[in-house]
Structure 1
C-alpha cells in the first residue's frame, strides 16, 4: 500500500478527498491529514508518505512552501496540487517544482484516477530500476568478496572497492564460515539460486549480530554460501553459532536440502580472512559427509592436518570374481558392506573412501574394451557424501556389467588384428592408413568395419586405450606427467593434457589429487 497525506485548510475538501475514489482498489491508503503545511511537516516526522495532495493557498505555510521543504527531506515523494481558477500563477510555479498534476476545485474524479494510474506506472518503473541497482551492487560486491577470499585482487584495489561497497576493514576479528547445500542425489547439481539464498542468510544472520559487529554472506564459485564475521573480539563466539544455526535451519526448511556448516578460526585483521576461508574449504575437501540431516562444525583450536585416518582397502580379489561372474546382487552387497561398515552418523575422511571407490570403479572398467574414464573421474568433484560416492560406484559398475555380460560379439579377423596391433604398439605412432596397408585393405573400408564392430572410431579407440594406460601409471607410479605422456605415445605434453581431460573428465593433476597413493 502507498501512503497518501491530504493537506487542505478546508475540512470539507479533506473529507471529500477521502471518499472521492476507492483508494484501496488503487493500492493506496490515506495515512494522515493536515490543515496546513506546518501540520503536514509535523505529521511527516513519524510517517513515510508516497503522495501528498495539497492545496496551494493555506495559512502559516503555503502548499508550494510545503513542497519545497518535503523535497529536501524526501526527494521521491510525489505531489498533486489543488487550486482555484484565480491561483494559476501559483500553479505554474508548482509545475516548475515537479508536481505530478494540478487539479482544479471541485476535483474531477476521472482526472484524479488517471493521475494516480500514471504515478503507479512511475513507481513500478522506479522499483524495477532500484532492483537493478541493488542487484548490480550485490553482483559487484560478490565478485569483490570472491576475489578477496581467493586472494586474486591486489590490496589497493580491494581497499578502494571495500570502501565503496561497505565491506568492513577496521574490526578486530575476522572469520569465515561455509554452508554447503546438498539436495537429493549429490551427483546432480542442485537447481538453487545461490545469490538469493546468500541474501536471505545475511538477513537472518543479521538478527544475531551484536553492536559493533557485522556479517556478510555471498556465494562462492563452488556454490557454497560463505559467511564473513567481522567483530570487535569482545563478544565471544556464541553469536556466530546462533547466526549459522539460524541460516542453516532456514535453508533446510525452505529448500528441503541437507546443509553442513563449518566455521573457521578467527584472524586478527581483514588480511586474515582468506586464510579462514581456505581453512573451511579445505575441511570440506578433506571430508565426506554422513547421511545425517545437518552438521555444524567449528575448526577453532583444532588442527585437522594432524589427524590420521586408516585407509581400509576393499578385498579386490573377491570383487574381481564377483564382476566376472556377473552376480549383480552380490556385487551390490559387496559395495554396500564396504561403504556401510564405517557409516557413523557424522563425517569421515574423504581420501580413504575416494581411494577405494576409484579402485572399485577401475576394476570394473578393465572389463570394457573401450572404457570411458570420464564416467569415473568427472563426477568425483561433485561428490560430498558417502552415500553419493557409493551410488557413483554402483552406477559405474552396473553400466560395465550391462555391457560386459551382454552377448559376446565376434570380431572379424581384420578388426581383431587392429585391436591386437593397438594393444602391442600403442606407444608408437598409429594410423589407420598404415594398418590398412599391412592388412591389404582400403583405409575407408577398414575404418567403417572397425566402427561397425568396435562401436567407436579407430582414433577414439587408440586415445581411450592410451588414456587407460596413462591412468594406471598416474595412480600407481611416481612418474612425472611428461614421462607418462611419452610412455603411452603422446610426445606433446600439452596435447596429452587436452586428450586426458577429454576422455577422463579431469586433468592428470586433478586425477592424482583425487587419489592418494600409499
Structure 2
C-alpha cells in the first residue's frame, strides 16, 4: 500500500479525510497528520509518505513552503493541494511545483477519489507498466485524444500515454476531420471506428466525431483519407448522412490543435456552402492561399469580446481590413473570404458548449458578406455583426464563457465543481476564468458555488424531511462538518436551527 500524510490546520478537515474514503480500497493507508507545515516537515522525515495532501493557508509554514521544503528530500512525493479560496498566485506556484491537483473546499469526494486513483496509477506505472483493456482503454483514449487536439496535454505525457494506447505519434504528418450528422450519432461513430482505422475516432464537447489521421506522406495520406471518408458518407446515407470538415495538415505533434481549430473553421463554412457535404480547410480561400496564412484573421477577438470593449473592437476590425488590403497577392475574392472569416472569429467564443443553431447576427452576417460588392460594404457588414453580437452580450450582462459556467453551476451544483474542471470543460485557463468570473459576478467562483448550494439546502430543509446529512450530500457537501460551518456562515443559524424556525 502507498502511504498518505495529511496536513490541515482545521482538525475537522483531518477527521473528515479519515472518514470519507475507504483508503484501503484505493490501495492507500494514512500514516500520519499534522496541523501546520512545520509539524508536517518534521514528521515526514521520520514517517516517509508517497502522497502528501496539504492545505495552503496554515500558520508557521504554509502549504507551498512545505512542498518546497520536502521536495529537497523527496522530489518524487506526490502532492494534492486543498484550499478554501481561489488563491490564483498559490495555484500558479503550485503548478510550477508539480502538484497532482488543486482541490477547492468543500472537498468533493468523487473528485478527491478520482485524483487519488490517478495518482496511484502514476505510482504503479513507475514500478510496472499497467495492463489496460476493454472499456478502460476506450475511456482513456477518448480523454487523451481530446486533450491532444485541444492542446491540453504535454508532449511528455502524450508520448507516455500514446505508447500505452499503441498510437504511433512518430509519423510525419497529422490532420483532423470533424464528422457531424443530423441523423444517428451512434451509427456515425460505429461506422468511423469500422472504416477509418488506423485513424483514431473520438468525441468532442460539441457532440462531433473527431478523427485524427496520422501519415508519413501528406499528399498520398490525405488522398487515401478522403477516399475512406467518402466511403463513410455513402455508408451513412441511410442513417441521416454526415458532413465532414477537414483541418490543415500539420507536421508536429504539438500543432495538432491547429488542425482541429482549422477543421472547426472549415465546419463553419457549411453555412456558406450549404450544398456541400465535405469541406477541406486547404481548399477554402482562408486556408488554401500560402501567401495569406498567419494573417490578422488569426486575430484574437476573444479578449475584446470578454472585456465588452466595443469601441476597441470596431477599431480592430477597421485596422485588420487596412492591413489585409496592403498584403501582396490580396484580391477582392480573398478579401471577401477573409471578411467571412472575421465573422466566424466573432462567433468562436460562443461556440464551446453551444447547443441549437447559431445566432441570427452570425448567420445573416455570413450571407451578407458572401454577397457584398465592395470593401466598404464588407467593413460595414462585419462591424454590424460585431455590434449586434455586443448588444446581445449587453442584454445578458455577462461574457459567453461566464454564462456557460453559471448555467453549469445551476444545473450541476451537486456535482464536483472546480475552476480546473470548468477550465477544461470550456478550454480556458482556470486562473483567467477565475479572474473573469470574479470581475463579472463580483464574487469568487467558490463563493458563488457555496452561496448557491446553501440556498438550495435551505429550500430542501424547508420542503423535505431529508436528514441534514442527506441534504448536505444532495447539494454537493460530503463533509457534514464543513456543511455546518458554511451554513452557519451564510445563514447565521445551524441547519437544525433553521429547520426548526421554518
TM-score grouping bracket, smaller chain normalisation: 0.3 to 0.5
Q: Which has the higher helix share?
A: 2
Larger radius of gyration: 1
- State the TM-score, normalized to the length of structure 1: 0.33
- State the TM-score, normalized to the length of structure 2: 0.33
